[in-house]
Amino acid sequence: MRALRVVGLHEDGKSIVCEDTERGEKFLLPADERLRAAARGDITRLGQIQIELESQMRPREIQARIRAGETVEQLAASAGIPEQRVERFAYPVLLERARTAELAQDAHPIREDGPDVRTLGEVVAYAFGVRGQDYSTARWDAWRGDGGKWVICLQWQTGRSDNRAHWSFSPGAHGGTVTALDDHAADLHDPEVGRSPRTLRPVTEEADDAQAMLDSAGDAEQDEGATVIEAPLPTQAEAESAPEAPADDVPQRRKTKKGHPVVPAWEDVLLGVRSQRG
C-alpha cells in the first residue's frame, strides 16, 4: 500500500488532491461524508454510512422496522446485509421492546365491567395453572402496531402447537390497561368459561328409577312368559265312585296378588276337596 500526502483542495471544491511522494502521481479523493468521518475518527459514523451505501436503508428505517416487530435475522435477510451491521442499530430498539413487554405485564386487563383488579401477569399465570401448563416456558414480546399503539404478544407451546395471544397496551396510571385482540387472549382472561359442570342427580332418585325399571321388567316377563297347565279330566267310573262334595267345597280359582289364577292340584280335581295350599 502506497502512502499519499494531501496537496490541497481541488478547484471544484468537492475533492481533495493527493500526491504519491515517490512517483509524483496525483490523485483526487472525494471530500464526502466518509472522508470527514474518517478524518474525525468516527468509526460508528463510518459503519452507518457503509450500511446506507450497501442496503440503501437508513438507520432510522432499520430501527422503525425492528420496532414494528421484525427480528434482526429477518431484516438482514430481506435487506441483504450482514446481521452484525443491523444489530448496531437494532439493539436499543430491542431493549425498548423488552421493557414495554415487561411493563405490560403489570397492566390491568379490560373486562365488560371495567379493568380487572389483577394484573395481566397474574391473570395469565392463573390461567396456565388451571390448565396445568408451564408458565415459565412462555415468552413475552412487544412491538408498535399500525396505529402507533403497542401490541403485546405471548407465545407458548402446547404439545406440537405453537400458540400466540395478543393484547393492545395503553400505558397509564397504576400500570395502564390491556385489551384482548384475539380469542387466545380472551380465553386467558377467563380460563374456566365454557366448562359447565355435569348435573348430578340425588342417589335416592337414581335408586327409585332403577327399582321402577326392575318392577316393570318383572311384570312384562310374567305376562308374556306365563303358561297354562290343564289338569287331566277323570274317567266316568272315577267320577261316579267319587263322593259328592258340598257346594261350598267346589274348588275355586284363587288369584294371587298379581291377579293371576292359581292352578288347582290333582287331588282337588279328583276328590273334589278344597286345597289348603297357598
The model's pLDDT over 5-23, given as tens digits with 9 standing for 90+, comes to: 888 888 777 788 888 888 8
Handedness of CA 124, 128, 134, 139 (dihedral sign): negative
- Of the pLDDT bands very low, low, confident and very high (cuts 50, 70, 90), residue 85 is confident
CA angle 29, 32, 37 (to 5 degrees): 105
pLDDT of residue 114: 87
The DSSP element (H or E) to which 154 belongs, if any, is strand 150-158
Q: Which carries the bigger pLDDT value, residue 146 or residue 124?
A: 124
Under CATH, which architecture does the 105-189 domain have? Roll (3.10)
pLDDT of residue 55: 55
Q: Mean pLDDT, to the nearest integer, of 75-81?
A: 81
Residue 156's identity, in one-letter code, is W
Task: State the Cα–Cα distance between residues 116 and 123, nearest whole angstrom.
Answer: 9
Contact 66, 72 (CB under 8 A): yes
**In the predicted structure, residue 248 carries a pLDDT above the cut 60:** no
Which range in 50-54, 204-208, 213-217 is most confidently predicted, on average pLDDT? 50-54
- How many Cα atoms sit within 13 Å of 62 on the Cβ side? 28
pLDDT of residue 218: 56
pTM above 0.95, yes or no: no
The residues spanned by each domain of the chain are 4-95, 105-189, 203-271
Q: Mean pLDDT, to the nearest integer, of 61-86?
A: 88
Give which of 184, 190, 194 is closest to 158, Cα–Cα.
Answer: 184
pLDDT of residue 16: 86
Bridge partner residues of 26 (DSSP): 19
Residue ranges in the chain assigned as alpha helix (H): 33-40, 43-55, 59-67, 72-79, 83-104, 120-131, 183-189, 203-225, 236-241, 266-271
pLDDT of residue 195: 46
pLDDT of residue 149: 94
Q: Mean pLDDT, to the nearest integer, of 111-126?
A: 92
Distance between the two ends of the chain, CA-based, in angstroms?
A: 133
- Of the pLDDT bands very low, low, confident and very high (cuts 50, 70, 90), residue 158 is confident
The set of cell numbers assigned to 161 is: 402447537
The DSSP element (H or E) to which 143 belongs, if any, is strand 139-144
Task: State the Cα–Cα distance between residues 142 and 178, nearest whole angstrom.
Answer: 12
